[in-house]
A and B are shown apart, each in its own frame.
Chain A
């Protein structure tokens, strides 16, 4: 497991930063990183403060935890509190606030809520506990949807009857479109999603340069990947090109993963519309289970309350997710809304822009540079 160090080589980073400074000159650039994973890397490695000040990274909507609306969390808690239910989900979802507490609170009240690393683990719990009803709270973009699909197909093969999925899967292209259509933001280009693209490939993003005239570089998640992708975007702009490029070619193929895409098509269909936290309803943006899988669909097996809950008034997650506000520009950031007592979803997940900034980035540029340069 020695795989991390070569992507964090300081000498290579310095070369890239020199190239970036040269390409950028004095002009101001604003690039949006779509993925929460990128946001996390940028803050965890302090990239914001090593980049020239005229290059601004704007955080995008690609944090799957952040985009789940409150009403869906309330439904999840309702499910968790049904008799004989074992409610399973990824760890990050445990702390996402609903209108009355989160899943951890439900667990402390006695609900059987467990976190799993894979939906297959949830299926295993169902197989091992035939007297329980196991529900998996599925969230995420095309990155995690295939593993949910595999699990559903596997459950069908095994004839498991005490298992269901509460699908909150979403797709990446509609929110990018929504952001490009928003008049609030003047972006110079995009760092395209890496993990999502391993599944969907890089063709779905062609509309970004072709329709909206913005370059997009599919980027990996190591600090050097981010810097290399920023350099590629600048190079496109300087050379007068505007296209989809793939920096993450060690993982992403242009056509994506056809087997995963086929599986997604077999199991899921697009909902007419789906609510996004802070962004409102976006049409054709959410995935639900096909009718063939109705008996494994928690939305059909259980009579969910399905109440829509408006975001708290003070919360500006929508503006943060769209990149219109920087995390610290939100009025409740860091005071009423902190990682321990989050009001908004962006403060919960380590991929959320607010949590990443609060946990890692909460430093003045001058102090950060002073500290960064004072190596003994």
Chain B
């Protein structure tokens, strides 16, 4: 079983590995924006999103902080303290789903982005775009969810804005939050620190949020008991970093899921990531629902999880620390970083097969957060 030479079918004059190399070179080019209008694919977090952000936003706003393209920017004050700053908009439909609401997401999303930048989240802003006719009782409930989520995460919502637009100009309610946190001295997560042999940790079951929202829309006629995992992970991150101070890199696998985050890791580090299918924590009910719908759970959104790259010597301690926390009880080491496969993500399947885990093209589940 060691075919070292790609099989020749007598057809083309090139070999499979040459084609693969050509494709990889092609993929390393900056994504090009060819479209004339914005489509849903530009909001899906995949390659089309990257092309839009790169060609329109980064091109116009260019600066050192933005060029990092992290979940949040890390900014130094004149006295040398470092602040993380992040913003996110929420357009989830329906506004309420098993396990949470747009209010929970709006707080947890920004808190988690700050935590991924290494910060202890402190302050949030909240801006509301409300469609004329929206029931105030619903608005109150959502705002109460935000207050509870903020209290739980130890952050304060310190400024805000309200806009009302005519019926039809928005779909109920859109919420935008921004947040600021303080990065402890000496802490710097960076893809540049990632090394071959590093281990990859996922802090719990994957795919719960996307599956819960999809099923809550009710147009699939599937009944399954799945709740969103929406939660602030900042405390969990602190617990892990205390046990694993050499933690290299963090990212929350929201839109695009674990598969997309691992691709971002590969691109940012220039190294490969090998995931082990049998180690991936997933609830059987989520796996079953995804199987029925033909969706790969690796690409389904999470709202209370993180992916961490760890020094191999600290991986077990990090896992133990995460598992000791109620939010991390189902955490697992899901793979490792390698220099053997270029800057790609591969999955070792159940019986030793291997496949690529690529960036997603087109989101099967829009408006998930």
Question: Which residues of A approach B to under 8 Å, CB–CB?
Answer: 1-5, 8-10, 13-14, 17, 21, 43-50, 52-53, 56, 91, 95, 104-105, 107-109, 117, 121, 223, 324-326, 328-329, 333-335, 339-341, 350, 358-376
| Residue of B16, B292, B352, B358 with most partner-chain A CB within 10 A | B352
Q: Does B220 contact A (CB under 8 A)?
A: yes
Beta-carbon nearest neighbor of A368 in chain B:
B354
Q: Does B185 contact A (CB under 8 A)?
A: no
Of the candidates A328, A340, A372, the one whose C-beta lies within 8 Å of that of B20 is A328
In the complex, A341 Cα to B29 Cα: how many Å? 15
Q: Does B219 contact A (CB under 8 A)?
A: yes
Selected interface stretch from B58-66, B69-77, B144-152, B341-349:
B341-349
Does A108 contact B351, Cβ atoms closer than 8 Å?
no
- Report the minimal beta-carbon distance from A274 to chain B, rounded to whole angstroms: 26
Beta-carbon nearest neighbor of A1 in chain B:
B288
Selected interface stretch from B32-40, B110-118, B128-136:
B32-40
In the complex, A367 Cα to B40 Cα: how many Å? 35
In the complex, A320 Cα to B129 Cα: how many Å? 50
| Residue of A1, A21, A350 with most partner-chain B CB within 10 A | A1
Beta-carbon nearest neighbor of B283 in chain A:
A1
* Interchain residue pairs with CB less than 8 A apart (28): A1-B292, A3-B288, A8-B351, A10-B278, A10-B350, A13-B350, A45-B350, A46-B352, A49-B353, A50-B351, A50-B353, A53-B7, A223-B353, A326-B9, A333-B19, A334-B26, A335-B22, A340-B41, A359-B356, A362-B358, A363-B344, A363-B346, A364-B17, A367-B354, A371-B338, A374-B274, A376-B276, A376-B336
Beta-carbon nearest neighbor of B12 in chain A:
A329
On chain B, the residues within 8 Å of A13 by CB distance are 350-351
On chain B, the residues within 8 Å of A48 by CB distance are 353
Q: A328-B16, A364-B16 are in contact. Are A43 and B355 (CB under 8 A)?
A: yes
Q: A56-B7, A364-B6, A376-B336 are in contact. Are A1 and B284 (CB under 8 A)?
A: yes
Does A108 contact B38, Cβ atoms closer than 8 Å?
yes
Q: A1-B287, A3-B288, A91-B364 are in contact. Are A335 and B354 (CB under 8 A)?
A: no
On chain B, the residues within 8 Å of A17 by CB distance are 351
Of the candidates B41, B291, B341, B347, the one whose C-beta lies within 8 Å of that of A4 is B291
Does B354 contact A375, Cβ atoms closer than 8 Å?
no
In the complex, A107 Cα to B366 Cα: how many Å? 15
Does B26 contact A223, Cβ atoms closer than 8 Å?
no
Beta-carbon nearest neighbor of B364 in chain A:
A91
Does A2 contact B288, Cβ atoms closer than 8 Å?
yes
Does A108 contact B39, Cβ atoms closer than 8 Å?
yes
- Report the minimal beta-carbon distance from A99 to chain B, rounded to whole angstroms: 17
What mask results when residues 213 to 241 of chain B are scored 1 for a CB within 8 Å of chain A, else 0? 00000011000100000000000000000
Q: A328-B16, A371-B348 are in contact. Are A334 and B22 (CB under 8 A)?
A: yes
What mask results when residues 277 to 309 of chain B are scored 1 for a CB within 8 Å of chain A, else 0? 010000011011101111000000000000000
Does A47 contact B353, Cβ atoms closer than 8 Å?
yes
Q: Which 3 A-B pairs have the closest CB atoms?
A: A1-B288, A46-B353, A53-B3
Beta-carbon nearest neighbor of B34 in chain A:
A341
Q: A53-B1, A334-B23, A375-B348 are in contact. Are A363 and B354 (CB under 8 A)?
A: yes
Of the candidates A104, A335, A360, the one whose C-beta lies within 8 Å of that of B41 is A104
- Report the minimal beta-carbon distance from A317 to chain B, rounded to whole angstroms: 15
Beta-carbon nearest neighbor of A366 in chain B:
B4
- Report the minimal beta-carbon distance from B12 to chain A, rounded to whole angstroms: 5
Does A369 contact B354, Cβ atoms closer than 8 Å?
yes
Of the candidates B22, B287, B294, the one whose C-beta lies within 8 Å of that of A350 is B294
Does A361 contact B356, Cβ atoms closer than 8 Å?
yes
Does A339 contact B361, Cβ atoms closer than 8 Å?
yes
In the complex, A1 Cα to B215 Cα: how many Å? 15
- Report the minimal beta-carbon distance from A79 to chain B, rounded to whole angstroms: 20
- Report the minimal beta-carbon distance from A339 to chain B, rounded to whole angstroms: 4
Does A363 contact B20, Cβ atoms closer than 8 Å?
yes
- Tell me which residues from 318 to 369 in chain B have a Cβ below 8 Å from any Cβ of chain A: 336, 338, 340-341, 344, 346-356, 358, 361-362, 364
Q: A45-B349, A375-B352 are in contact. Are A365 and B26 (CB under 8 A)?
A: no
Q: Does B2 contact A (CB under 8 A)?
A: yes
Q: Does B105 contact A (CB under 8 A)?
A: no
On chain A, the residues within 8 Å of B340 by CB distance are 367, 370-371
On chain B, the residues within 8 Å of A374 by CB distance are 274, 348
Beta-carbon nearest neighbor of B335 in chain A:
A376
Q: Does B78 contact A (CB under 8 A)?
A: no
- Report the minimal beta-carbon distance from A190 to chain B, rounded to whole angstroms: 18
In the complex, A373 Cα to B354 Cα: how many Å? 9
In the complex, A370 Cα to B285 Cα: how many Å? 32
Beta-carbon nearest neighbor of A47 in chain B:
B353
- Tell me which residues from 1 to 56 in chain B have a Cβ below 8 Å from any Cβ of chain A: 1-4, 6-7, 9, 11-12, 16-17, 19-20, 22-23, 26, 34, 37-41, 46-48
Of the candidates A21, A104, A121, A360, the one whose C-beta lies within 8 Å of that of B355 is A360
- Report the minimal beta-carbon distance from A101 to chain B, rounded to whole angstroms: 10
On chain A, the residues within 8 Å of B284 by CB distance are 1-2, 5
- Report the minimal beta-carbon distance from A12 to chain B, rounded to whole angstroms: 8
